[in-house]
Chains A and B, each alone.
Chain A
Amino acid sequence: MDIFFEVPKDVKITSPSTDKLYDVIIAGSGPAGMTASVYCSRKKLDTLLITKDVGGQVVWTSGIENYMGYQYITGRDLSEKFYQQIEQFPISLLKDVGPCHLEKLENKFAVNCGEKKYYSKSVIVATGKRNRELGVNGEKELLGRGVTYCSVCDAPLFKDKIVAIIGGGNSALTAAIDLISYASKIFIINILDNLQGDEVFLDKIKNSNKAEIILSSEVSKIKGTEKVEGITVKNRKTSQIREIELDGVFIEVGLMPNSEFANNLLNMNDQKEIVVDCNCKTSIDGIFACGDVTAVLDKQIIIACGEGAKAALSAYRYLLGIK
Chain B
Amino acid sequence: MPLDLNVIMGQINDMAGTLDSDEQARRFDALDNAWSNLDSVEVNERYDTAITSFLLAETSEDYRGTTPLTGVPDTYSVAASDGSFILPDRHAPLRFFLLNTSTVYLKYGAGSTAEISTLPDIRYQEADLIVPDDPQRTPIDGTILGFLRAIEELKAACTCLEGREGATVALQDGTLVLWQVQGQSDLVKDWILEQFIDVLDEFRKRDQPVASYISAPGATELMNMLRVAVCDYPEMGKAIDCKHCRSQPGRVPTCDVLPNIPDRTLLTQIAKLQPGERTAVYHSRSKIMRDYDRDRTGDQKICFFYLNAGREIARVEIPRWVAADVDQLELVHSVIYDQCSLGRGYPVVLQEAHEAAVLSMSDRRIIEVAIEQALSNVGIMPLHTGKDGSKRGRFV
Binding partners A and B: no
Which residues of chain B have a CB within 8 Å of any CB of chain A?
A: none
Which residues of chain A have a CB within 8 Å of any CB of chain B?
A: none
